[in-house]
Amino acid sequence: MTNSTVIPLLGLKKGNRSIAVILAIIIIFITPISSHAKDTPIKVIDFRGKTLTFQKPVSRIVCLIESALSGLYMLKQHDRIVAIPKVVYDGEVFKHYAMLDNRIKNKTLPSPGNWDFVNIESVIAIKPDLVIIWASQKEAIKSLEDRGIPVYGVFLSSIDDVYKEITDFGILTNSQKRAKWLIDYTKGEVSKIQKRLVSMSMQDRKRVYFMWAQGTLETSCGGSTVDDLIRLSGAKNACNLPNTEHTTVNLETLIRWNPDIIVMWVNNKKSPQDVIKDPQLQSIKAIKTKQVYELPEVFLCDLWTLKFVYAVKLLAKWSYPDVFKDIDLIEQKEAMIKNLYGVSI
């Protein structure tokens, strides 16, 4: 024990001496505990199953996934971001991120890669504490890790994965409280939707066919983020194939499924009206009743971020307009952005 923790006991009366002894014991035990807590390594396990260990919160992050970048801004960790994916500058999300960060507005943050390409030398020059990229970018990951640069690999196939990612980012950036608040808020909003439908039988649930922008017959089935989205909205996925993140079906199968509603991923080449007019789909219930909807721009309902909650609300209102007639979707959108990012966009 150092001199700073010694309490002189001589000359004290018996009662005071007992108090002093207790105080000394408390100090002895508290001091090493506090020191140990300060020196405890930070550990997370990424989506590859790899354990990452740091002695302190990461302060220089190269994030090359737009959805992951969104999570870091939700955590209010702007200052730790030292590079972003190129798609942020090139895509329609730019206007939103420009409002979140002046460095993006002025295009001064480096953008050394995307989901399909990473400029390894440019990343090395930035001297990051951590690089966040897709787990499938194995060649880039090996190149970075061979050079001693830690990599957090991401693979999202469910809403639980979205929660895990934001939790891990909270640990890595010492913003655990904010991460927990964000998750609790999102789960609370989903719970409000589901409570309204708790008495509805499975037989009465609407069947939703999800249509990717790549083509009318491209969809997602069980074990996917889209399947979670449909389920949380109170509906049923028309495609019940298990563990199918993205698949192509034939026209006969889609007609046989006969969905009540068709929901399109944001599509710049085809509108809901185009789908409704498709002569091959005229026997489908959703076409006959004109229940075809398109999700808004990606930034507002990105299924791989906590903003999936807005897509849940959209699907719920499209599926059950009478149950959710009091829900103002514009107000819901604005409230979500304010709560997740702390600003109005």
Tell me the per-residue pLDDT of 193-213, one tens digit each, with 9 for 90 and over: 999 999 999 999 999 999 999
pLDDT at 336: 97
Task: Give the model confidence (pLDDT) of 3-49 as tens digits.
Answer: 433 334 334 444 544 544 444 444 334 444 333 355 689 999 999 99
pLDDT at 38: 57
pLDDT at 36: 32
Residue 307 pLDDT > 90: yes
pLDDT at 2: 39
Please provide the average confidence, as pLDDT, over all residues in the chain: 90
Q: What is the mean pLDDT of residues 315-329?
A: 96
pLDDT at 243: 83
Percent of the chain whose pLDDT exceeds 90: 84
Residue 144 pLDDT > 90: yes
Which CATH class, in words, describes the domain spanning 200-341? alpha beta
Neighbour-count burial of 42, counting CB atoms closer than 10 A to its CB (0-12 exposed, 13-18 middle, 19+ buried): middle
Terminal-residue alpha carbon distance, the chain: 55
Residue 230 pLDDT > 60: yes
Rounded CA-CA distance 306/314 in Å is 14
Q: Which amino acid is at 192?
A: K
- Partnered with residue 92 across adjacent β-strands are none
Query: Regarding predicted confidence, which is higher, 12 or 345?
Result: 345
Q: What is the mean pLDDT of residues 266-285?
A: 97
Closest CA to 186 of 310, 317, 76, 314: 310
Task: Give the model confidence (pLDDT) of 164-194 as tens digits.
Answer: 999 999 999 999 999 999 999 999 999 999 9
Q: Which fold has domain 42-174?
A: Rossmann fold (3.40.50)
- Partnered with residue 236 across adjacent β-strands are 207
Q: What is the mean pLDDT of residues 316-341?
A: 96
